[in-house]
Chain A
């Protein structure tokens, strides 16, 4: 009997392989909570969310040490109270980026947030990591986050990616309306019907919940696209991509002016008027923009346009715009 027990015990040990990991640093794992109705996310296994990683990423986001001349940080061009965009630039807002697979207006960066941050740190900021290494505070933060004081492109990008993965806007009036928790105003509701029907047809590219489709479209801003204004074509060199730009999310759109890839419009009223009467024909114009009976624009009344703008303002997420979790920690 003892033999049998011994065999069973050994068999248990043999069949049940358990990897014994050496005792290392122990960051606090954070579970990513996907907001209601949002698409599932495949989070990278080699960069799990941790309290320490997010904390480090947030500090880096707001720190001009990333810039060799210490003049700019991410937050210089992406201000929280402007929906993580900037009135001075036509940058895409840093919100709900976890669901993006293309970054920048022409989709130059393809992949996840880690790849996007590598580009930002390496190519955009051209970060001098020695500047960070000289700061003992950062040595400690990197060690807490990654178990190493090796401050390099990979760890820096991973920390920034972790922070931006948590920068989620999902609590606007429209979200509450969608969840049946709060009605829209009468004007907003009329705007909602325009937005989500063929009348305005905004939903095909800016559908709920992301209010963006992670794709590229020529929406008729110009009839001719020249060298610095070619959009997705600049990356693919495919003529069918001329004039196509990434769909921006409309989350907090009330505060993300200027609008369009070149920032040509300063108000939502101008944007709506463009779609109502200003769309220009070109060979790659999105088929959605050329509907029968709307060749001369959407034909919205003045009231329709006001209602649509009011509805767009229901995308404002005040909790997001003021959340301490996303604010400057320095």
Chain B
């Protein structure tokens, strides 16, 4: 009787108290990646024609929305130790930070990320139905999934007074951009794992392909050869990743 009462008491104590937080395993930690959009080390400014492209245009940016997804932490031999199988929506108008949780505490030598959405997530409903994600839907009749990139603005030739618009959109599985950076990353216990990702959106228009709004087209959606050009240019978008 006494023993059973004791058991009941212990069970009461255990089940009566709801755990308010799911604690992270002691062997893992979180990392925060703040995204910076910079051109020539200066913060990207919107809505004003300020920037020159290699094809000889002056451009403004009115919209910069894209995804960083499928972030992988790798060891020296290139083996993935941790994979964050999520798609993070980025809006260039806002200062944004990506939070990745439950990363094994250790030293990493390589980080890989996808600009766009990996095939296993690029289907309607495979990523959370937030307003932002719904706004990035790529119509089913055009291939389905989500826009990987919306890069829009106005352009003009130097000395011209009037401008026209451009809408560089990228989507459809196969056009995602995988970026791999070899860099020592140290994930330590606690919340101090802060990293910075610098992104130069002008690189979408160059390296290796100079994109010409007049010779190519001022929009790319649904035009496979132009989306391929943009996809190839994506390899130089991330200029640096650094630990803070």
Contact = CB atoms under 8 A, between A and B. Distances in A.
Interface residues of A, number: 39
A292 interface: yes
A197 B137 CA distance: 12
Interface in B199-229: 213-214, 217-219, 221-222
Contact of B135 (A5, A213, A289): A213
Contact of B129 (A40, A196, A281): A40
B6 interface: yes
A110 to B, nearest CB: 14
B153 interface: yes
A38 B129 contact: yes
Contact of A198 (B9, B18, B163, B221): B221
Nearest to A241: B47
Interface in A271-294: 281, 283, 285-293
A285 B9 contact: no
Contact of A240 (B16, B17, B62, B141): B62
B217 A8 contact: no
Contacts of A193: 141
B165 A196 contact: no
B138 to A, nearest CB: 9
A12 B17 contact: yes
Contacts of A240: 46-48, 62
Interface of chain A: mostly helix, strand, loop or mixed: loop
Contacts of B152: 287-288
Interface string B132-145: 01110101111000
Nearest to A283: B163
B130 A39 contact: yes
Interface stretch (A73-81, A141-149, A201-209): A201-209
B128 A40 contact: yes
Interface in B162-183: 162-167
A192 interface: yes
A238 B10 contact: no
A15 to B, nearest CB: 5
Given A214-B131, A287-B166, 17 more contacts: A5-B9, A8-B9, A12-B13, A37-B134, A38-B134, A39-B131, A196-B141, A197-B142, A198-B222, A207-B134, A240-B48, A287-B152, A287-B154, A288-B165, A291-B217, A291-B218, A292-B217
18 contacts: A8-B9, A11-B13, A12-B13, A15-B13, A39-B133, A40-B128, A40-B129, A197-B141, A197-B222, A203-B139, A207-B135, A207-B139, A240-B47, A281-B162, A283-B154, A287-B154, A287-B165, A293-B217
Interface of A: 1, 4-5, 8-9, 11-12, 15-16, 37-40, 99, 192-193, 196-198, 203, 207-210, 213-214, 238, 240, 281, 283, 285-293
